[in-house]
Structure 1
Amino acid sequence: GDSVQRPSQQASGSPRDTAGPTGNGGSGSSLEGKCHQALCLPLQLVYPNDFRLTDKEKSSICYLSFPDSHSGCLGDTQFSFRMRQCGGQRSPWHADDRHYNSRAPVALQREPAHYFGYVYFRQVKDSSVKRGYFQKSLVLVSRLPFVRLFQALLSFIAPEYFDKLAPCLEAVCSEIDQWPAPAPGQTLNLPVMGVVVQVRIPSRVDKGESSPPKQCDQENLLPAPVVLASVHELDLFRCFRPVLTHMQTLWELMLLGEPLLVLAPSPDVSSEMVLALTSCLQPLRFCCDFRVTNPFFIKTLQHWPHILRVGEPKMSGDLPKQVKLKKPSRLKTLDTKPGLYTAYTAHLHRDKALLKRLLKGVQKKRPSDVQSALLRRHLLELTQSFIIPLEHYMASLMPLQKSITPWKTPPQIRPFSQDDFLHSLEHAGPQLTCILKGDWLGLYRRFFKSPHFDGWYRQRHKEMALKLEALHLEAICEANIETWMKDKSEVEVVDLVLKLREKLVRAQGHQLPVKEATLQRAQLYIETVIGSLPKDLQAVLCPP
């Protein structure tokens, strides 16, 4: 399902020998069409029963939930994938999206057109099976990117499911059905299979640092809860250990929406790398498409301009071995050595102090969560330094509040001028908050052509337009309505009623940022204006 209270567990049998996820990040073309040409067995079980999937979605889940047979994933493996939703009747939970998304950080909002699949795959030798191996995946499907929460949930459910099968999923879904809805800013206690998982759903008003869940009501929880530090944050340092020297280049590739293919020896490494890369831009929304797909596409995508190949984690002395930067022409076969294959040259210089600090932390055996916090803070501050000048310039395009009058259409937001913005950087650029040197102007020019600028601008323009409408509603509610009505025709008065009602409905639906007192005043104005009209018009505007 699409919310914490009703996730859907998918149980998939072995569809075929070869298919499995390798990372596919960036803004490349869709990979769906070719994925469904081969034969695939149907899902064995789907819970809850009212969760609807199209045949194409079921086929995608089967393909994406089984690792490549040559990957050697013996034992238990957890990974994730992302796939596009198909058309058809959707689940009824979509109605809750607006309220949740209005309070959640952009990176944790429900996906309107994609599903996330969280997989627990088991492959063990079994002589009783014809192929000699027991192979099965349990997949949790959601439109929420809560990778840490759902992977933890699967780690409780899957081992039991592989032993007890359908009755286990039925019992689990019954428990999950009683969970509270995800509420940004609140700590939730989620009971499942004899344990209580305690998590805090981040809120849009949270500061940059992640907030662990508050230890609430533990005296009433038996046994003691399993406390997750985050519902979504990965161990960034573990993911980026082999590419620390290229973090600046990778951050820029993500910022510019460049097509990047990630190849890794196992589905857990590739899927975590893709999710880690897409999280580099927080708090900026990642607006490009990204998938986790199977090795069938490796040859097909070798023409891509940027390919990251990572191998098994290795050490060089007491430091993590770093992949090398190589030209794309060196990538010829599937057996190519690990490396970042790209002709791209970063606009900004790398932060040598950060790299030195992280590598020194390895030598001193600093905990991975501390290393991840350092890396996450660096990426957050880098993205904020890049975005703040854009935010300041965008704010300058907003009409002055004194120009908003009650009975006139509010003035328009001025258009975004790239040249004016670039000229403003001399005095209000990222150099005020970031020590990194380099070609900031060139980076902004390329950013203007990226999907991320388009996504950021559309979102900010929408928010400013709603703010402008809210200010206009406040201006109307502060005006003297009786004075305005004295010389107005019935048509003009009725038009005002209809417009006020429309604004009031939108404001009450959390689309306009207005105070409760303003809403009450608007309702009073509507009643006052209707009361001034003839009885027949009153009957039309206020039917019994």
Structure 2
Amino acid sequence: MEEETEENLTPTEDSQKSPSVLPWDRFSNWLHCACVVTFDLELGQAMEIIYPSHIRMTEKESEDAHYYGFVFFRQTKDKSIRRGYFQKSVVLISRLPFVALFSQLVSIVAPEYFDNGEPSLEAACHDIDQWAPPVSGDTMNLPIFGTVLQVRMPSRSDKLVGSLQSRPQTLPVLPAHSVLPSLFEVDIYSAFLSILPHIQMLWELVLTGEPLVVMAASPSITSNTVQSLVSLISPLHFCSDYRPYFTIHDSEFKEYTTKTQAPPSVILGVTNPFFAKTLQHWPHIIRIGEMSHEAVPKGFNKLKKASSLKTLDCKPGVYTQYKPFLVKDKGILKRLIKGIQSKRPVEAQNAILRRHFLELTQSFMIPLERYVASLMPLQRNISPHKGPPSMSQFEADGFLRTLNQAGPQLTSGVKGEWEGLYRRFFRSANFEGWLLHRQYEVNQKLQLLHMEALCQANLVDWIQDKEEVEIVDLILRIREKLKFATSQSIAVKPESVNKLEKHMKAIIANLPEDLHSLTAVALTAVALRRYQLVYLATGLLDR
């Protein structure tokens, strides 16, 4: 028995240990470590190997330091073992959520380890340590055990068209190359095959950050389903927590199973039948059963009330009392059923479903993007003699008033109570995360525009009739801009930096000589003190 799963883990490095002889910086661009976990009848699971050897892991978890674990499990008969089975897993741990890439990687590395032992794991890590660092927008060739994984890194421009799966790939296929169409691609069609009629409702639940539990027979099924749920709202980033494989040993077990408080905004994947009882109070539960393509559509599971999930042998389906805001789009379901009947390839079915939800998510987000753009100050109001402006505050009611003229109905044929869905979305971590990111992007843009305004202004003429404190304020503003230009990974033109440096030198030259060599803090203090003394002398400033 072999299976691959993906889960969140929490490793930590032991900073007291001496670093490895090898330059593991390149390795750490991709992976934190590779592990081998064995299963002992007496001791339970135990860590057998960690590579690189200087990495240390603890059982204590930290909520702000989740990693992704990609697991390849092997179980074979072995009469020499008490229970009669050899059970061991190879786990790759990374900070990066590159599901498709690392799932493929572990499927290559693990069999080599099981066949050839620890030296093959060491060799794999050496190969990975030769990989170039990931660069946005680049096509990467990643050699491993004589083959090359070829994949394109995502870039900022991708968000305009959604996930990479929606873009035609024209990468040249070379001998011994394995081309991955995306770093993140998961087969959402197969994951939701038995519950396809309810997938639009699941999109709403994920979009609004509702608590969800996925129950299935194996970690690989729960992992694929949870990852598929998270990717349903692509290109919007899912900002709540999710655990593709959650067990009774996780530190949040008591928090998630208690009935004294509402479940948190998290998506859990579980296999232990014990959870069918302890998570009965969760509002949305998905039970995934096996289903062949031939059994569809007769085998579709109907929607069930959450209260009916009381037995350990309950049937597969979606258990919820949630009433969707949008009317179900029956067209996509009919198209998929027609594809099943005509034996359309699974890859094509998956692409159709992905495109549908990509367009639905974009239709939902475009009005929000348009509204945020309207909150940006006009460029003509950006003055070099004042600080940079900020984006206006997002007002939910103000946005909702724009829906009649510029709502999702312009790009989507799905009908329903869009306003109610937006209001629910505004209470979610997904909205908060999206808005914070957009505010950051807009304010970065405003900083650049303000920098350009400073560059184009005749600042030396402007300071001629100004007080020292005003001139010092301008110098500090320019210094902040230069600091911003060097610290931010944005496209600041070198000529802009040169202009600002010339401006600052010219302005400083116009100050009294005793102020030329002072630090920023001292410069401000001296100028402010002189400003106060002048006005005290004229009686314009109270003591």
Q: Give the TM-score band, short-chain normalised.
A: 0.7 to 0.9
Matches within 5 A, 1:335-484: 335-484=313-462
Deviation at 1:143, TM superposition (A): 0.9
* Residue 232 of structure 2 is aligned to residue 280 of structure 1: yes
In the alignment, which residue of structure 2 is the partner of 1:229?
181
CA distance in 1 between partners of 2:51 and 2:511 (Å): 56
CA distance in 2 between partners of 1:421 and 1:267 (Å): 42
Matched-pair contact (CA < 8 Å) for 1:3–1:182: no
Which sits farther off after the overlay, 452-461 or 141-150?
452-461
In 2 relative to 1, CA 213–166 (structure 1 residues): closer, same or farther, beyond 3 Å? farther
In the alignment, which residue of structure 2 is the partner of 1:251?
203
In the alignment, which residue of structure 1 is the partner of 2:35?
10
Q: Indicate the RMSD between aligned Cα atoms, in angstroms.
A: 2.4
Matched-pair contact (CA < 8 Å) for 1:198–1:213: no
User: SS at 1:385's partner residue?
Assistant: helix
* Residue 302 of structure 2 is aligned to residue 324 of structure 1: yes
Matched-pair contact (CA < 8 Å) for 1:184–1:203: yes
Deviation at 1:528, TM superposition (A): 2.9
In the alignment, which residue of structure 1 is the partner of 2:77?
125
Deviation at 1:410, TM superposition (A): 3.6
Deviation at 1:53, TM superposition (A): 2.9
Matched-pair contact (CA < 8 Å) for 2:385–2:474: no
In the alignment, which residue of structure 2 is the partner of 1:164?
116
In the alignment, which residue of structure 1 is the partner of 2:246?
293
Which sits farther off after the overlay, 455-464 or 339-348?
455-464
Amino acid at match of 2:198: H
Number of matched pairs:
465
Matched-pair contact (CA < 8 Å) for 2:136–2:153: yes
Which sits farther off after the overlay, 139-148 or 112-121?
112-121
CA distance in 1 between partners of 2:124 and 2:54 (Å): 15
Matched-pair contact (CA < 8 Å) for 1:259–1:305: yes
Matched-pair contact (CA < 8 Å) for 2:426–2:432: yes
Amino acid at match of 2:222: S
CA distance in 1 between partners of 2:508 and 2:172 (Å): 50
TM-score by length of 1: 0.80
* Residue 47 of structure 2 is aligned to residue 47 of structure 1: no
Matched-pair contact (CA < 8 Å) for 1:3–1:181: no
CA distance in 2 between partners of 1:462 and 1:361 (Å): 43
Deviation at 1:49, TM superposition (A): 2.3
Matched-pair contact (CA < 8 Å) for 2:31–2:93: no
In 2 relative to 1, CA 315–473 (structure 1 residues): closer, same or farther, beyond 3 Å? closer
Deviation at 1:341, TM superposition (A): 0.2
Larger radius of gyration: 2
In 2 relative to 1, CA 5–340 (structure 1 residues): closer, same or farther, beyond 3 Å? closer
Matches within 5 A, 1:164-203: 164-203=116-155
Which sits farther off after the overlay, 292-301 or 229-238?
292-301
In 2 relative to 1, CA 318–290 (structure 1 residues): closer, same or farther, beyond 3 Å? closer
Deviation at 1:418, TM superposition (A): 1.7
Aligned-pair identity in percent equals 51
CA distance in 2 between partners of 1:518 and 1:150 (Å): 42
Deviation at 1:502, TM superposition (A): 2.2
Amino acid at match of 1:293: F
User: SS at 2:300's partner residue?
Assistant: coil
Matched-pair contact (CA < 8 Å) for 1:248–1:350: yes
Deviation at 1:345, TM superposition (A): 1.1
Amino acid at match of 1:50: H
CA distance in 2 between partners of 1:16 and 1:377 (Å): 47
Matched-pair contact (CA < 8 Å) for 2:326–2:414: yes
Matched-pair contact (CA < 8 Å) for 2:30–2:96: no
CA distance in 2 between partners of 1:320 and 1:49 (Å): 53
Matched-pair contact (CA < 8 Å) for 1:196–1:226: yes
CA distance in 2 between partners of 1:317 and 1:197 (Å): 35
Amino acid at match of 2:33: S
Deviation at 1:129, TM superposition (A): 1.5
Matches within 5 A, 1:109-120: 113-120=65-72
In the alignment, which residue of structure 2 is the partner of 1:94?
none
CA distance in 2 between partners of 1:52 and 1:212 (Å): 42
Post-superposition Cα deviations, 1:12-66, rounded to whole Å, max 9, x if no partner, equal 111669xxxxxxxxxxxxxxxxxxxxx7554111111233433425xxxxxxxxx
Matched-pair contact (CA < 8 Å) for 1:213–1:227: no
Deviation at 1:282, TM superposition (A): 1.0
Deviation at 1:7, TM superposition (A): 4.6
Deviation at 1:535, TM superposition (A): 5.3
User: SS at 2:438's partner residue?
Assistant: helix
Matched-pair contact (CA < 8 Å) for 2:112–2:120: yes
Post-superposition Cα deviations, 1:314-342, rounded to whole Å, max 9, x if no partner, equal 45656472222000111002211101000
Matched-pair contact (CA < 8 Å) for 1:234–1:272: yes
CA distance in 1 between partners of 2:295 and 2:75 (Å): 34
Post-superposition Cα deviations, 1:510-531, rounded to whole Å, max 9, x if no partner, equal 3556444323322332333344
In 2 relative to 1, CA 535–132 (structure 1 residues): closer, same or farther, beyond 3 Å? farther
Matched-pair contact (CA < 8 Å) for 2:276–2:310: no
Stretches of structure 1 that go unaligned for 5 or more consecutive residues are: 18-38, 58-84, 87-111
TM-score by length of 2: 0.80
In 2 relative to 1, CA 532–42 (structure 1 residues): closer, same or farther, beyond 3 Å? farther
Post-superposition Cα deviations, 1:122-144, rounded to whole Å, max 9, x if no partner, equal 01111111221000010000011
- Determine which of 485, 503, 506 is the counterpart of 2:484: 506
CA distance in 2 between partners of 1:241 and 1:43 (Å): 36
Amino acid at match of 1:239: A
Q: Greater RCO between the two (CA within 8 Å, min separation 6)?
A: 1
CA distance in 2 between partners of 1:537 and 1:365 (Å): 80
Amino acid at match of 1:44: E
In the alignment, which residue of structure 2 is the partner of 1:78?
none
